[in-house]
Amino acid sequence: MNIFQKAARAFGSVFGKTYIEPGWQPLLELVESEEHFKHRPLIANEQVSWVYACIRRIAMSVMSANLRLYQTNTEGEWKEIDSHPILDLLHEPNPFLSKNEFFFLLAQFIELTGESNWWKIRDEFGRFVGLSPLNPLKMELKLENNWPSHWIYRTTDEKGVLRQIRLEMRDVMQVKLPNPRRPFRGLSPISAAAPSIDSYFYSATWSRRFFKNSAVPSAAIVSEKPLSQTQYERLRMEIDTKYRGMSNAHKVLLLENNVKFQPITMSMKDMQLLELKKFNREEIAAIFGVPLAKLGIVEDVNRASAEQLDITYSKETITPLLRMIEETLTRSLLKSEGTSNLVFSFDSVVPKNTMVETAKHTAYLDRSVLTINEVRKELGLPPVEWGDKPFKKNEEPAKTEPKKVMT
């Protein structure tokens, strides 16, 4: 049994048995079960398509970012480190988690719950050897003198018995979105998006039921004479079995005994359902900081605006998140473990504006600030033989005299 198996056995189930009732529970509605209420962000991710789409887009962007390790000195110089045990650990945090899965899951929890917590697994000598995800919704932070003291993690063992496990601060890595009300815990965007998420779910449910009933408005069956219980049950059964559902759409309804079909008109337009769903979709995307174009909604988007939206998304949504992640990785995985001269840093994920970059390179060439080969290097192109000399605007190529042929 290796160290990861021993740790898992001693720790119990990482996520335990999550209590989730069937069906949707409003994010804004208070319920008797606090345990149930805490798990609603996970339900929102599973049952509201635009919440899932936004979180998936952000998680994929974080997963795709390139993380590097640097060594620093007293002069402030950085030197990249290509080989180090901490890089091997992040490449495979535990036997069941790859590097890409680690960063994807880390970002998912940040956006869903406001924080992503990871248990730092240690061997019998106390050495840090791995990372395992902790469900933030099952964690309680204990304070002493208004300062974090330790964590209490609630989980269930193999027999289903509830356990409370104490975790020291140094053994938990926490990346969080700042929360002004609870500065030591994270604040999820779902908290702000709750009204729109609830509204979108209910409108989507209404649409499903509408089309399940053949997309026909509700109607009343009116009888001029009272029906017996037997007649009523027979009529109801015939309508349910022969005329309800998509496969029975547009069938002729046969009625008898002075029974009339009276439709109750309530159109989709009257409900303005599509407009409401569109508004909710845009508000959810805005709260998560994801442009609709990144979610596949390309209405009124051209190449120039799409490029600018991509720059804005990378600069204002992804870059700040990456900065928080790299700072936490440096603090929790390096400095707290006694390594003070190494830092993590992500490469820039902001795409370059092609028009601005073209104008800049042209100006640098015209003013002899850069050579042709220096510009080509920035563009990722190979050098050319004639590209190392400064380029001068309006300079004519040197003319060579034609060779005289002796006759």
Q: How far is CA 70 from CA 77, 345, 351, in A?
A: 9, 8, 23
The CA-atom distances, in angstroms, between 219 and each of 24, 100, 347 are 27, 53, 61
pLDDT score recorded for residue 403: 57
Rounded-to-integer distance, Cα 316 and Cα 232, Å: 62
Report d(CA 198, CA 29) in Å as an integer: 10
**Distance in angstroms (rounded) separating the CA atoms of residues 305 and 292:** 12
pLDDT for res 330: 96
pLDDT confidence band for 251 (50 / 70 / 90): low
- Name the 3-class secondary structure at 388: coil
DSSP string, 356-380: HHHHHHHHHHHTTSSBHHHHHHHTT
Rounded CA-CA distance 190/107 in Å is 14
pLDDT band with cut points at 50, 70 and 90 for residue 76: confident
Residue 38 has pLDDT above 60, yes or no: no
Q: How many residues does the chain have?
A: 407
Residue with tokens 């959810």: 284
Lowest-pLDDT range, 14-18, 73-77, 227-231?
Answer: 14-18
pLDDT in tens, 261-287: 666 555 555 557 777 778 888 888 999
Query: Of 337, 360, 334, which is closest to residue 345 (Cα–Cα)?
Result: 334
Q: How far apart are CA 373 and CA 384, in angstroms?
A: 7
In the structure, what pLDDT confidence band is assigned to residue 158 with cuts at 50, 70 and 90?
A: confident
pTM to 2 decimal places: 0.71
- Which residue in 4, 15, 8 sits closest to 109, CA to CA? 15
What is the number of other CB atoms lying within 10 angstroms of the CB of residue 61?
A: 21
Structure confidence at residue 283 (pLDDT): 86
Q: State pLDDT tens for residues 78-131.
A: 899 999 999 999 999 999 999 999 999 999 999 999 999 999 999 888 889 999
Q: Six-digit token pair at 183? A: 């500065």
